[in-house]
Amino acid sequence: MIGTARRRRDGDAKVRGATRYVGDMPAHGLLHARPVLAADAHARLLAIDTDAALAVPGVVAVLTHADLPLAGGSGRAAEPLAREEIVWAGQPVALVVAETEAAAGDAAALVDVDTEWLEPVLDLEAALADGAPAARLTERAGEDESAASAHGGSEGGTEAAGGGSPNVATRQRLQRGDVDAGLAAADHVVRGRFRTSWVHQAYLEPQSTLAWVDPDGTLVVHSSTQGAFMVRQGLASTFGLPMERVRVQAAPLGGAFGGKLMIAEPLAAAAALTLRRPVRIVFSRTEEFAAGNPAPGQLIDLELGAMRDGALAAIRGRVVGDRGGLGDMGVEALSTLLAAGPYRWPAHDLTAVGVTTNRVSPGAYRAPGAPPAAFAVETLLDELAQALDLDPIALRLKNVLVAGDRGLDGQEIKVIGARECLARLEKHPLYVKRDELPEGEGVGLALGFWPGGLEPAAAICKLDADGRLTVVTAAADMSGIENAFIAIAAAAFGLPEERVRVTTGDTGSAPYGGVAGGSKVTYTYGRAVERAAEQARERLLDVAASELEIAPEDLEVADGEVRPVGTPGRAIAIADLAAKVYTFGGRHRPIEGYGSTAQVSRAPGAAAHLSHVRVDRETGEIRLLAHVIAQDVGKALNPALVEGQMHGGTAQGIGWALLEELGHTDEGQLQGATFAEYAVPSTDQVPEIEALLVEVPAPDGPFGAKGVGEPPVCAVPAAIANAVAAAAEIRPGVLPMTSARVW
Ligand code: MOS
């Protein structure tokens, strides 16, 4: 069961349209909500005229900030509708609730928002300038770094915000050793400035939430979310409700990639609490682009030095990340950590700066901050290899982190397969023949790295009366983790996979667990499932031992039965044992196990890429001809699904590299807020991806497995940029590398 390629269980239903998403769920007396989005990027909100909207047949209410039962606080979740200041074009300012989606949509267009224009701050460099206009005039109640840390970053020391700009929201510095001396002593120093664009997660299913209030006052929320408990805590705090009065069920996800960590929930919940009827909100595609929480634009300055033999000497840099107008979450701290790559540095000095602007408040997107960071550091390493006339893989092998090293955060790394990924590509034909390609073609190499998230995770495994094992966790199923949980529980308990079922993401029945994100679900929840199944198996053996009058250590579980080791004759079917347990007057305690992952170490993920491109010297078009990824996955529980993650991550990295950008007008209005205009890679633009599995077992992971979702995306733009440099002798410093920019 472990290590065999199998089809994804939820795959058929998803491709056939049979999956019931939140948008498909029935509810009695359902109302539909539609947000009214601000047109200005920065403005004072003077008045909202709802008369025309309320006159539309079927409209039940038009809610504004003053109508919501909010408990106070600041940030995106705490103020779901703009209060007195609009801080981005697309910020929800009102919510129309109607009997039909059509009525809500018609009425939303009739809501009249009166504003006083304020100068918007849209560009990161302009926002940082001395004397820049303030992107936000009203006071904020302090920063919340929890979203970033949930994704696995280390925070380092926080300094007071400074400089001559009113828009610097946060500043953090990671520093060790004498960087000035290191750079002065280096034989060669390379430096660069890198700009990356805002990129949307572009999941197919938009943000969707259905909320109602039960007769006992409990707020019940079904949502397309990655974190059931996260949403429960968030809603309890937004609306001042006791935690036991909020129940959240994470629904099937039609894609998330980090973007579904609480955007639509406060809107739907506010309406349900106010109107006491079930309310559903399903974002339109345009609302997604304008009012979602995409990956922010970044500005990275990096400088690094090395000795003639390739030994790295020191790195210095600054990562500026856009925090948008409400800025709950920034990715610049993580990005700063990742800008050093998975390498040993005798000295480093890296600063993260979070900047308030009049853009949407950003969120997480698959390896938050990593693709820009890897773009910067791997471009410079490529330049360094060229300047020192060193083999790019050899340069990296000389410096790469191995088990026992300490990362930038000072923590000892227990296991990391970066070296093995590089070694896997060293002999690859594409790498070997990279200098013999036709004119205009090039192969680029880059190494990506993800620290691996950690959050509490727990699981319950219980044998039910029908002889099946039920696995209960709070994990939202973002990427088919049901498949992994079933395989792990079946193997650890001793039942065939068909006799294991999984329930996920219900705060009403699951023990506490963190969000599905950070590449940690299989690693942490999976480990908890393994422990819970093992404990349940011990209980099963106790029951069987008492029934068979044989010591438990002389029994084994196999083929759906418990039998004495080596004597198959006297066996009891697990189903019969279950029937004996769950009967009135029975003498056995329930067969259940609990597992958690209180103490596991981080399992960083690494992936090395080779990208083969052709650059058209006439048009500047960059064409990907081939792509190879070698990723350390610990242990591939189901190689088909792991390869799927590698393909998907690579494809998204291709989007980062060549196509994707949430552009805006000079006034800050979003350009291209549909899939017709926002270009994600089409099959024509994604070459066949060769996925090479590297398995360096993670000691704390279930069966040696580790998280595989985020590592594959990290270094794709870097590999493509390095291939462009090899093909056309141009070093792109901007993502996406559109021909207009590169040429
Ligand atoms: Mo993610 S960006 O860890 O969901």
pLDDT given at position 139:
66
Does residue 494 have its Cβ closer than 6 Å to ligand 1? no
Q: Is 660 exposed, middle or buried (0-12, 13-18, 19+ CB in 10 A)?
A: buried
- 181 and 347 in contact (C-beta within 8 Å)? yes
pLDDT given at position 140:
57
Its sign, for the CA torsion 384, 387, 391, 397, is negative
- What is the predicted ipTM? 0.97
Does residue 431 have its Cβ closer than 6 Å to ligand 1? no
Among the atoms of ligand 1, which is closest to the Cα of residue 201?
2
Fold adopted by 458-596: Aldehyde Oxidoreductase; domain 4 (3.30.365)
- 37 and 92 in contact (C-beta within 8 Å)? yes
What is the average pLDDT across 76-90?
95
Judged against a pLDDT cut of 80, whether residue 743 lies above it is answered with no
Percent over 70 (pLDDT), the chain? 97
Range scoring the smallest mean pLDDT among 109-113, 414-418, 552-556, 581-585 = 581-585
CA–CA gap between residue 692 and residue 695 (Å, rounded): 10
Question: What kind and span of H or E run contains 139?
Answer: none
Q: pLDDT-derived band of residue 162, with 50, 70 and 90 as boundaries?
A: very low
Question: What kind and span of H or E run contains 449?
Answer: strand 441-450
pLDDT digits (tens, 9 = 90+) for 542-592: 999 999 999 999 999 988 899 999 876 789 999 999 999 998 888 899 999
CA–CA gap between residue 97 and residue 469 (Å, rounded): 43
pLDDT given at position 713:
98
Ligand 1: centre distance to CA 293 (Å): 12
Which of 260, 710, 713, 714 has most ligand 1 atoms within 8 Å of its beta carbon, as the pocket-test mutant? 710
Does residue 260 have its Cβ closer than 6 Å to ligand 1? no
CA–CA gap between residue 321 and residue 299 (Å, rounded): 7
Q: Which amino acid is at 575?
A: A
Q: Which amino acid is at 256?
A: A
Judged against a pLDDT cut of 60, whether residue 368 lies above it is answered with yes
Residues 6+ apart with CB under 8 A from 546: 587, 588
CA–CA gap between residue 234 and residue 271 (Å, rounded): 16
pLDDT given at position 740:
81
Which CATH superfamily, name and number, covers 11-118+207-282?
Aldehyde oxidase/xanthine dehydrogenase, a/b hammerhead (3.90.1170.50)
pLDDT given at position 147:
35
Which structure tokens are listed for 318?
A: 């600054």
Ranges of H-type helices in 494-589 = 526-548, 574-581
Q: pLDDT-derived band of residue 268, with 50, 70 and 90 as boundaries?
A: very high
Catalytic residues: 710
**What dihedral do alpha carbons 59, 60, 65, 66 form, nearest 10°?**
130
Range scoring the smallest mean pLDDT among 160-174, 197-211, 406-420, 580-594 = 160-174
Query: What is the side-by-side order of every strand in the sheet holding 622-632?
Result: 441-450, 605-615, 622-632, 689-694
- 171 and 159 in contact (C-beta within 8 Å)? yes
Higher pLDDT, 407 or 276: 276
Q: Is 458-596 the same fold as 331-343+363-452+602-742?
A: yes
Nearest CA to ligand 1 atom 4: 258
- 31 and 275 in contact (C-beta within 8 Å)? yes
Q: pLDDT-derived band of residue 409, with 50, 70 and 90 as boundaries?
A: confident
pLDDT given at position 75:
87
Averaged confidence pLDDT in the chain: 94
Which of 146, 257, 477, 481 has most ligand 1 atoms within 8 Å of its beta carbon, as the pocket-test mutant? 257
pLDDT given at position 329:
85
Among the atoms of ligand 1, which is closest to the Cα of residue 367?
2
Instruction: Please choose, from the candidates 38, 30, 31, 35, the residue with its C-alpha nearest in 3D space to the C-alpha of residue 60.
Output: 31
Q: pLDDT-derived band of residue 144, with 50, 70 and 90 as boundaries?
A: very low
Range scoring the smallest mean pLDDT among 92-106, 141-155, 194-208, 625-639 = 141-155
Judged against a pLDDT cut of 50, whether residue 81 lies above it is answered with yes
Ligand 1: centre distance to CA 657 (Å): 19
Judged against a pLDDT cut of 50, whether residue 158 lies above it is answered with no
No. of H helices and E strands in the chain? Answer: 21, 28
Question: What kind and span of H or E run contains 692?
Answer: strand 689-694
Instruction: Please choose, from the candidates 423, 395, 504, the residue with its C-alpha nearest in 3D space to the C-alpha of residue 458.
Output: 504
Ligand 1: centre distance to CA 365 (Å): 6
Instruction: Please choose, from the candidates 505, 507, 516, 511, the residue with its C-alpha nearest in 3D space to the C-alpha of residue 528.
Output: 511
Please state the three-class secondary structure of 601-621 as a single string. CCCCEEEEEEEEEEECCCCCC
Does residue 520 have its Cβ closer than 6 Å to ligand 1? no
pLDDT digits (tens, 9 = 90+) for 447-466: 999 999 899 999 999 999 99
pLDDT given at position 141:
47
- 457 and 596 in contact (C-beta within 8 Å)? yes
What is the average pLDDT across 46-62?
98
Does residue 518 have its Cβ closer than 6 Å to ligand 1? yes
- 484 and 637 in contact (C-beta within 8 Å)? yes
**What dihedral do alpha carbons 289, 293, 299, 300 form, nearest 10°?**
-130
Q: Where are the domains of the chain?
A: 11-118+207-282, 331-343+363-452+602-742, 458-596
pLDDT digits (tens, 9 = 90+) for 312-355: 999 999 999 999 999 778 999 999 999 999 999 999 999 999 99
pLDDT given at position 600:
84
pLDDT given at position 568:
67
Does residue 363 have its Cβ closer than 6 Å to ligand 1? no
**DSSP-assigned letter for residue 400:** B
**CATH label, 331-343+363-452+602-742, candidates 3.40.30.10, 3.30.365.10, 3.10.450.50, 3.40.50.300:** 3.30.365.10
CA–CA gap between residue 376 and residue 298 (Å, rounded): 11
Question: What kind and span of H or E run contains 710?
Answer: none
Which of 151, 331, 645 has most ligand 1 atoms within 8 Å of its beta carbon, as the pocket-test mutant? 151
Ligand 1: centre distance to CA 98 (Å): 33
Instruction: Please choose, from the candidates 611, 637, 652, 658, the residue with its C-alpha nearest in 3D space to the C-alpha of residue 707.
Output: 637
pLDDT given at position 4:
94
pLDDT digits (tens, 9 = 90+) for 607-628: 999 999 999 988 989 999 999 9
Which structure tokens are listed for 34?
A: 């539609």
In sequence order, what DSSP letters do the residues of 84-118 get, joined into one string? SEE-STT-EEEEEEESSHHHHHHHHTT-EEEEEE-
Judged against a pLDDT cut of 70, whether residue 145 lies above it is answered with no
